[in-house]
Structure 1
Amino acid sequence: MIQIIAVLCSLSSPAECHEQTVTTSDFGDISMTSCLMGAPQLAEWMKEHPGQRLAGWKCVIGTPSKGI
């Protein structure tokens, strides 16, 4: 399983940032290459969350973490 974990910052409070799992390969066609290049799933997710700024992302292989 591949997870896309985004680092998101609030537009109203730019210093407030957090990590959030955007999607996993269970829910879409995600390869490690597409994840590293900025998967379309990440762009789609950002359209649905306009109050946040994408500060970065990482691709993680493995089971989703409950702490994120």
Structure 2
Amino acid sequence: MLAIVLSACLTNDPNVCRDYRIPIDADVDAMTCMVEAPPHFAKWAEEHPGWQVTRWRCASASENDI
């Protein structure tokens, strides 16, 4: 299973950054994840004011991979 991994930093303190995982549908392959990811991280950004997404990628949904 894949997830979108966002790296986001605080807008007011760009030195404070975190990685967040957004799980996606179990039947999605890596290419589909890359194509379908932007609306997911746009929604995340709307729900997390004060954070700015600095990069993103598709990766394993396992928590142990970060």
Shorter chain as denominator, the TM-score bin is 0.7 to 0.9
1:36 to 18, 34, 37: 34
Instruction: Give ranges in structure 1 of 5+ residues lacking alignment.
Output: none
Distance 1:18 1:55, change over 3 A: same
Q: Alignment identity in percent? A: 29
Higher helix fraction (1 or 2) = 2
- TM superposition outliers: structure 1 runs of 4+ over 3 Å: 28-31
CA–CA separation in structure 1 for the residues paired with 2:47 and 2:58: 20
User: In angstroms, what is the RMSD of aligned CA positions?
Assistant: 2.5
Q: How far does residue 66 in structure 1 lie from its aligned partner after superposition?
A: 5.0
TM-score relative to the length of structure 1: 0.72
Q: Deviations over 1:44-67 (max 9, x none)?
A: 111111110000011013x42157
Q: Deviations over 1:8-42 (max 9, x none)?
A: 00011011111111x1124x885533432462111
The aligned residue for residue 10 of structure 1 is 10
User: How many residue pairs are counted as aligned between the two chains?
Assistant: 65
Residues 9 and 53 in structure 1, CA contact (< 8 A), matched pair in contact too:
yes
TM-score relative to the length of structure 2: 0.74
The aligned residue for residue 62 of structure 2 is 64
Q: Secondary structure of 1:56's partner?
A: strand
Instruction: Give ranges in structure 2 of 5+ residues lacking alignment.
Output: none
- Give yes or no for the alignment of 1:53 onto 2:55: no
